[in-house]
Chain A
Amino acid sequence: MKKLIKEPLLHFFVLGALLFAIYSLVNKNTDEEEIIIDNSDIEHMIELWQMQWQRPPSEDELQDLINKYVDQEVMYREALRLNLDHNDEIVKRRLAQKMEFLGNDLTTLVAPATDKNLKAYFEKHKENYATDYNYTLHQVIFTADNHKNPVAKANNVLDTYDVSSSESLKEVGDKFPLPYTYSNVDAFYLNRELDENFTKQLSSLRIGEWSGPIMSGFGVHLIYIEKKDNPRIPEFASVKKQVQRDYEYQMVLDSKNAILKELKQKYKINIEADNISSMLKQELAQNASK
């Protein structure tokens, strides 16, 4: 018997019988339901098809579309009749999301990304658009593949060669697939190539001479910094696209909260549950009124 209770097929039959019973109770009206397919339904189907194929559906394809539409409509209506949409987490989330979409679109209407709005936003958040440190530098590397103690090797090289000449170490480092010279590269690029731990160490180095050693995940580097530009605030025009992106994002976030707050005012939220701690209950009550 225990085995039977666990049998999924049995569950299926029991559930099926139950569904049928509920269905018969709810559906006392024996009149046939009507599913009407009118001109506008056909037009809508054809329109959707055309958006996907850029041509009208053939006779067969249209028939298939209508069949699918009817099948779906039957299941949909029966589901509604059984209130299957109620308390369905997926249905709820989808509808809530649609509400959010709507809010987003309204935002672009009431807070459009006009030049004046964007410039005002830029003025207020200038520091977000500052350029990176920018370098022109030379590097040589010593890796553990080739040296027992790469740090000692690097220090030895520093002691041996003329550190004031940018060319003096050109042939001294290991053969390794990193460039000898990085021209006008910003910290963003160096982070990507060598990791930010490497880039951070650059700030401690002297300019105009070989110095180090500093470490990357590849090995031990000696660096000759030829030029280092500090961050600066760019012209608005050169970052306009980025400003617009940020502005629109911020407006959506702001309005999302505003909309929710406004809509919440239509509801009185009562936490009636008494199987949660009183502290949690208090906190929830406070949040509900926000």
Chain B
Amino acid sequence: MNTTKLIPFAAFLFLFNCNNTKKEQPVEESTSTEMTAEPEVPANPLRNVYWGDQHLHTAWSADAGAVGTRLGPEGALRFARGEEVISATKQKAKLHRPLDWLAVTDHSDGAGVITAVIDGDEAVMGDPIVAQYHEDMEAGGDKAAAVMMDLINRQSNNNLPPVFTDPAFAKSVWLKNIDIVEKFNEPGKFTAFIAYEYSSNYGGGNNLHRNVIYRDGPEIGKQMSPMTTFDSENPEDLWKWMANFEEKTGGSLLAIPHNGNLSNGLMFKTTAFDGTPLTKELAALRNKYEVLYEITQGKGTSETHPILSPNDEFANFEIWDKGNLVMVPKTKDMLQTEYGRKALKDGLKLESKLGINPFKYGFVGGTDSHTSLSTADENNYWGKYASSEPSPERWSEKALDFPSGFVRGWQLGASGYTGVWAESNTRASLWDAMKRKETYASTGPRMTVRFFGGFEYTANDINDPNYVATGYDKGVPMGGDITNAPEGKAPTFLISAVKDPTSGNLDRIQVIKGWLDAKGETHEKIFNVVWGDADKRSLDAKGKLPPVGNTVDVFTATWTNTIGDTELKTFWSDPEFDPTLKAFYYVRVLEIPTPRWTTFDMVKYKIEMTEDVPRTLQERAYTSPIWYNPS
């Protein structure tokens, strides 16, 4: 080990330092009692948007490690912070822009294995063999290397010094994971969440996965092991586990379901898991713990489906509807209970029956990459598995391959980041924002989207440079609730979007409204509320807007920002408001067409692709809804 040669020099520094600390100790003690757990981090009461990924697997997830991913949580966190790492396929990988936060969500299954491993605790050093090791280490060179080998041999022969096999020094993979996460959590600069994925594939590949995100640090997180599907594949038991965790530890958790599109109709079933009628208690548990839904990720987008939303011309976006996670074929009726928008509508229905809305979801994005590399940029896409890291073949290879069907590599989406509106970049601040659903999902670009709702806004408010303050003062941000409509007044909204400076201009902003009518039927309608190139485009009688155009040159994978706008903002009021009906409103922002990752691959590797591979796409963001509840 190189550093051993530096020990004499370092020892000198160490002694020098000891003297200093001793003198300063009383001062430190007196200040430490006043200090709060987290150091002072500047806070913006009008909130900043922080970009991250709440869904990433590393080599520590059995299914990622098993297909060749080499980087563990440490590599994942370094990459997210903007450092260069070496990928599974020995390529140098680096993000163009660092992320602000990350939740490493390795599968809890298998992550709870107790391995006989050893902590560097000083108590171990009392053992005579360990003391000898230390002497050898001091000697450096071959002797130091021999220590390591001796330990390994003893371990494999079950002959470790007794102090090492003391359960107090045995550490589960879960605890190791938390230690690594903690190293990278730097309040104010980068947030690393303690998290895991509960991966229920109930009934053979019906995706009922949930990411569980911790608000707190190791002192809470380490108290209990994660819930696994070995214990139960019923997500209701996960919520019960979460409730028990909060009660026992005083900590806070939230769960984020994903890939309803691969659940073959189970994700948003309107009954209890066992098929009996949904009870108020279960609805309340879901309402409390599942506040967010991952609406877009690498394995397809789950906002809505063309069959569910035939009037939505943008519904057919990165759709995966062949089957479930193992490609057991999907039937049409299953689509009814696996997409986000439909779940929001069914939530209103269930709320009118039960008094509580089990599907009250805000929206987030996640990559679900199994490579430790959180990438959602079309021009820097590192795939879903080690096998789909950049290569000339990855587009045509099978990404998922099961007897009943397969998915080609090109169908994977470079998608899934989350923007969180929070006062500061800390675990508590970001988590609280997630809990109040002040979040939005993006298919990759980091556009800045604001969405406020209330009854008091006026058309002039949006032109005020400080309109954000007005937004918070006179109403609620995305994820909030409005009620008590004043007589004769419809809800008013302040909406704005600024493009990602590295991506395409903005095409349009839409408000998507869903409501429950007096007969108990649900409806949806899409309003184009503001758009780019407004001097050249206007709505037709049906409220449709002509397409923005397409500047993409597929032979060079480039485009120009000569169409669309840099910034779009508007005041909007619902023209069809009925104060007696439950409703929700969320915003969808579309970019102008830009090259899809496959097109960047075509240019980079000088290859041809079949006609069924889309050349361009319109990246987009989805905000959490604002709900209207009749009083």
Question: Contacts A8-B403, A94-B62, A218-B501 known; A255 to B148 CB distance under 8 Å?
Answer: yes
B 160-204 binary contact with A (CB < 8 Å = 1; else 0): 000000000001110010000001101000000000000000000
Query: What chain A residues lie within 8 Å of B171 (beta carbons)?
Result: 105
CB atoms of B148 and A106 under 8 A apart:
yes
Q: Is the CB of A97 within 8 A of B59?
A: yes
* Residue A170, interface by CB 8 Å: no
Q: Which residues of A contact B152 (CB under 8 A)?
A: 102-103, 106, 259, 262-263
Inter-subunit contact B227/A195 (CB<8 Å): no
CB of B275 within 8 A of chain A?
Answer: no
Q: Residue-by-residue, is B201-241 near A (CB-CB < 8 Å gives 1, otherwise 0)? A: 00000000000000000000001111110110000000001
Q: B91-124, CB under 8 A of A: which get 1 and which 0?
A: 0000001101000000000101011111110001
What is the bound-complex CA distance between A48 and B167, given in angstroms?
13
Query: How far is the CB of B442 from the nearest CB of chain A, in Å?
Result: 15
Q: How far is the CA of A123 from the CA of B223 in the complex (A)?
A: 37
Closest to B164 in A: A109
Contact call A241/B148, Cβ cutoff below 8 A: no
Closest residue of chain B to A189, judged by CB? B189
Q: Is A194 an interface residue (CB 8 A)?
A: yes
A273 at the interface (CB under 8 A from B): no
A195 adjacent to B74 (CB under 8 Å): no
Interchain nearest-CB distance for A171 vs B (Å): 11
Residues of A contacting B147 in the complex (Cβ-Cβ under 8 angstroms) = 110
9-residue interface stretch from B7-15, B329-337, B353-361, B576-584: B7-15
Q: Is the CB of B120 within 8 A of A52?
A: no
Q: How far is the CA of A113 from the CA of B120 in the complex (A)?
A: 9
Determine whether B155 belongs to the interface, using a CB cutoff of 8 Å to chain A.
Answer: yes
Instruction: Annotate A192-222 by CB proximity to B: 1 below 8 A, 0 otherwise.
Output: 1011101000000000000000001111000
Do B7 and A120 have beta carbons less than 8 Å apart? yes
Report the Cα distance A183→B300, complex, angstroms.
Answer: 42
- The range of chain B's interface size is 35 or more
Within 561-587 of B, Cβ neighbours of A (below 8 Å) are at: 561, 565-567
Known: A143-B566, A217-B499. A112 touches B120 (CB 8 A): yes
A54 near B224 with CB under 8 A, answer: yes
CA of A114 to CA of B225, assembled, Å = 29
Contact partner, A101, options B98, B115, B151, Cβ 8 Å: B115
Interface presence of B158 (CB below 8 A)? no
Find out whether the CB atom of A109 lies under 8 angstroms from the CB atom of B225: no
Residues from chain B with a CB closer than 8 A to the CB of A123 are 6, 9
Separation of A192 and B4 alpha carbons in the complex (Å): 39
Q: Which A positions have Cβ atoms within 8 angstroms of B? A: 8, 48, 51-55, 68, 89-90, 93-94, 97-98, 101-117, 119-121, 123-124, 143-145, 175-177, 188, 191-192, 194-196, 198, 216-219, 241, 244-245, 247-249, 251, 254-255, 258-259, 262-263
A/B interface sample: 13 pairs, CB < 8 A: A51-B224, A54-B249, A55-B248, A102-B152, A117-B7, A143-B567, A176-B567, A177-B496, A218-B499, A241-B183, A247-B3, A248-B183, A263-B152
